[in-house]
């Protein structure tokens, strides 16, 4: 989950409100193995206090040491780790154990109303408001926000024909959420995969005893109809809704409500024959139009030839990740 991102921004806000200068670091790119993906954050003060991480160890140590020595006074800098670059404004002698390369954007944020307003907007984006796209000028450090769909890579560079990039764009949005409409062996496997992938997981099922069998700490259990939960505001733009029970009383109603939300992925399990019958049923009884039906992934998931609950869950979560990353099915 992007809960660590929220922790970073809330700490940044606390320091900014106290009149502290702070440094916001963003992972821009990685080559090779890396424990943190592009877009990950760390915030620090000159005295070494920090929240978040960039690599899980060596990079943070080097950055904090250089920060204490007075480096990174410029409004914005790009720093590369792991490629043997000479230590200085744009490089470090740190060698990553994995042999990879890590590039980090370092922004020096002075206290003031502009910094407070910008950090507050980032907090709102992370807590379920509209996803934002953050534009950072790599020369001046000026940053601005605009509304964004929230799907695709977290770090967006200008076209390749721009030899020296003048700006970088960073996607900011709420933690990805998975709403499981009904409990089943496939749903349980999906919940486990989703947690590993960093999703907030919510399982809705009104049937007595169904949620008691779920033994996954951190998964939220809601004993109500999935459609009721969804209609009550349970989805935002970073939500995936999946129905995996084969029970039309749960699945169909969930789909009817889900297409009225901004959920980025809506899918329901079933064979192609069952999916065709469901589409006709949703159109006839649920009043869904062609555009709404087109939003439904039926059958759900990638075509992996899945048979077991775990395999179906894997195909489902792989398809959700594909859509969230803004990837097509070509080559899959």
Please name the fold of domain 177-324: Rossmann fold (3.40.50)
Instruction: Report the alpha-carbon distance of residue 329 to residue 332 in Å, rounded.
Output: 5
| Percent of the chain surpassing pLDDT 70 | 90
Q: Are 22 and 9 in contact (CB under 8 A)?
A: no
pLDDT at 324 exceeding the cut of 80: yes
Which of 19, 23, 22, 12 minimizes the C-alpha distance to 112?
A: 19
Q: Which long-range contacts (CB under 8 A, 24 or more apart) does 66-74 make?
A: 66/92, 67/23, 72/23, 72/106, 72/108, 73/108, 74/108, 74/141
Those residues whose C-beta lies under 8 Å from the C-beta of residue 134, and which sit 6 or more positions away, are: 122, 143, 144, 145, 169, 170, 171, 172
Rounded mean pLDDT of 215-242? 92
Enclosing H/E stretch for 177 = strand 177-181
Rounded mean pLDDT of 184-199? 92
265 vs 173: which has the higher pLDDT: 265
Looking at residue 311, the DSSP 8-state letter turns out to be H
pLDDT at 189 exceeding the cut of 50: yes
The values of phi and psi at residue 122, to 5°, are -65, -40
The total number of residues shown for the chain amounts to 332
Sheet strands side by side (includes 220-222): 220-222, 200-204, 177-181, 239-243, 265-268, 296-297
Q: Are 52 and 8 in contact (CB under 8 A)?
A: yes
Is residue 291 helix, strand or coil?
A: helix
Can the peptide bond before residue 299 be classed as cis, meaning omega within 30 degrees of 0?
A: yes
| Dihedral angle of Cα 24, 29, 31, 36, to the nearest 10 degrees | 50
What residue has token string 């977290």? Answer: 154
Rounded mean pLDDT of 69-78? 94
pLDDT at 313 exceeding the cut of 80: yes
Looking at residue 120, the DSSP 8-state letter turns out to be H
Look at residue 88 in the predicted model and tell me its pLDDT: 45
Look at residue 218 in the predicted model and tell me its pLDDT: 85
Residue ranges matching CATH 3.40.50.720 in the chain: 177-324
Mean per-residue pLDDT of the chain: 88
Look at residue 1 in the predicted model and tell me its pLDDT: 43
Look at residue 226 in the predicted model and tell me its pLDDT: 96
Rounded mean pLDDT of 39-51? 94
Encode pLDDT of 129-166 as tens digits.
678 999 999 999 999 999 998 778 889 988 766 667 88
Instruction: Report the alpha-carbon distance of residue 270 to residue 16 in Å, rounded.
Output: 51
Rounded mean pLDDT of 10-26? 96
Instruction: Report the alpha-carbon distance of residue 316 to residue 117 in Å, rounded.
Output: 39
Which tokens in the block code for residue 252?
């169909």
Rounded mean pLDDT of 15-38? 87
């Amino acid at each position: 989950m992007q809960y660590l991102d929220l922790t970073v921004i809330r700490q940044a806000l606390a320091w900014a409100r106290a009149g502290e200068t702070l440094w916001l670091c963003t992972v821009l790119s990685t080559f090779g193995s890396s424990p943190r993906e592009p877009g990950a954050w760390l915030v620090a003060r000159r005295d070494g206090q920090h929240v978040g991480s960039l690599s899980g160890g060596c990079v943070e140590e080097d950055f904090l040491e250089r920060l204490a020595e007075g480096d990174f006074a410029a409004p914005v800098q790009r720093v590369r780790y792991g490629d043997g670059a000479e230590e200085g404004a744009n490089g470090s002698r740190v060698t990553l154990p994995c042999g990879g390369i890590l590039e980090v954007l370092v922004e020096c944020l002075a206290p003031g109303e502009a910094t407070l307003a910008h950090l507050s907007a980032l907090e709102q984006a992370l807590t379920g408001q509209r996803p934002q796209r953050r534009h950072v000028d790599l020369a001046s450090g000026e940053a601005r926000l605009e509304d964004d769909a929230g799907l695709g890579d977290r770090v967006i560079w200008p076209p390749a024909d721009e030899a020296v990039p003048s700006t970088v764009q960073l996607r900011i949005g709420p933690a990805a959420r998975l709403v499981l409409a009904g409990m089943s062996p496939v749903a349980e496997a999906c919940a486990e995969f989703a947690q590993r992938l960093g999703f907030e997981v919510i399982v809705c099922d009104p049937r007595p005893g169904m949620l008691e069998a779920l033994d996954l700490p951190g998964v939220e259990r809601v004993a109500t109809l999935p459609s009721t939960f969804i209609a009550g505001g349970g989805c935002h733009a970073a939500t995936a809704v999946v129905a995996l029970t084969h029970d039309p009383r749960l699945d169909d109603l969930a789909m009817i409500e889900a297409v009225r939300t901004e959920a980025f992925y809506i899918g329901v399990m079933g064979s192609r024959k069952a999916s065709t019958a469901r589409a006709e049923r949703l159109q006839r009884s649920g009043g869904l139009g062609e555009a709404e039906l087109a939003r439904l992934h039926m059958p759900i998931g990638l075509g992996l030839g899945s048979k077991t609950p775990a395999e179906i869950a894997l195909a489902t979560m792989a398809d959700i990740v594909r859509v969230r990353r803004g990837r097509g099915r070509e080559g899959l």
